Amino acid sequence: AQSVAQPEDQVNVAEGNPLTVKCTYSVSGNPYLFWYVQYPNRGLQFLLKYITGDNLVKGSYGFEAEFNKSQTSFHLKKPSALVSDSALYFCAVRGYNTDKLIFGTGTRLQVFP
Amino acid sequence: DGGITQSPKYLFRKEGQNVTLSCEQNLNHDAMYWYRQDPGQGLRLIYYSQIVNDFQKGDIAEGYSVSREKKESFPLTVTSAQKNPTAFYLCASRGELGNQPQHFGDGTRLSIL
């Protein structure tokens, strides 16, 4: 069965410092992996995806993610956090032969000035 | 601009009442989805449709119904059989290619009176 784990409910980081939001997954076959961000009372906004190829994926707003097949991880990173990055972040996985997207429980990122 | 429109933004339901949430997209996407979001639980799939006049149950379909009579519309009815309907409901759509991300509307918040 497919699953996604986001082990941290909340991540706190000072503005200007690097940030990491963790995600591990379990899926049969090669995964399609996604990161989304959600601001209060809004829908999810797509940040980036990994389908195949380079393990370092670059996305919107300066975010990037590193795919690690041996550790089945897809951590979200940003070199320098902004207060405006404070939001709820979701990792999601889709197996090769299914249309269902499985979401993690979300990680709240709080960036302090 | 292309996008997904959900209405209303806020909805209140009385006991024993059915309510219908609207989802319209002008992205020309074939696939559409309904999710339920509860605090700390991430997103859970209610129903999805890959083509007009066809839809499948997701993980938590009990107490919900859908229709897909037009490509651009995928309304969700929350029936009186759904005993805990209070949640944030999100509609999404996806383009043809299998590796495309889902695009989300801004949600409908449903509460019980």
A44 to B104: CB separation less than 8 angstroms, yes or no: yes
Give the phi and the psi of residue A15 in degrees, each rounded to 5: -55, 135
Q: Is the pLDDT of residue B94 over 80?
A: yes
In this structure, which amino acid lies at residue A107?
A: T
Q: Does B23 touch chain A (CB under 8 A)?
A: no
Q: Is the pLDDT of residue A67 over 80?
A: yes
B40 to A9: CB separation less than 8 angstroms, yes or no: yes
Q: Does B95 touch chain A (CB under 8 A)?
A: no
Q: Are B32 and B105 in contact (CB under 8 A)?
A: no
Q: Are A18 and A82 in contact (CB under 8 A)?
A: no
pLDDT (0 to 100) of residue B99: 78
Find residues 10-69 of chain A whose CB sits inside 8 Å of chain B: 32, 34, 36, 41-46, 49, 51
In this structure, which amino acid lies at residue B58?
A: G
d(C-alpha B35, C-alpha A36), whole Å: 14
Q: Give the Cα-Cα-Cα angle A66, A63, A44 (nearest 5 degrees).
A: 105
Tell me the nearest-neighbour CA distance from B17 into chain A, angstroms.
Answer: 25
The alpha carbon of residue B99 and the mean position of all alpha carbons in its chain are separated, in whole angstroms, by 21
pLDDT in tens, B26-55: 999 999 999 999 987 889 999 999 999 999
A45 to B104: CB separation less than 8 angstroms, yes or no: yes
Identify the band that residue B113 occupies on the pLDDT scale cut at 50, 70 and 90. Answer: confident
Q: What is the DSSP code string of A32-65? A: EEEEEEE-TTS-EEEEEEE-SS-SEEE-GGG-EE
Identify the band that residue B69 occupies on the pLDDT scale cut at 50, 70 and 90. Answer: very high
Average pLDDT over residues A46-72: 93
Average pLDDT over residues A30-52: 93
Specify the residue for token string 């503005």.
A15
Tell me the nearest-neighbour CA distance from A68 into chain B, angstroms.
Answer: 19
- Closest Cβ opposite residue B31 in set A41, A99, A106: A99
A32 to B99: CB separation less than 8 angstroms, yes or no: yes
Tell me the nearest-neighbour CA distance from A107 into chain B, angstroms.
Answer: 9
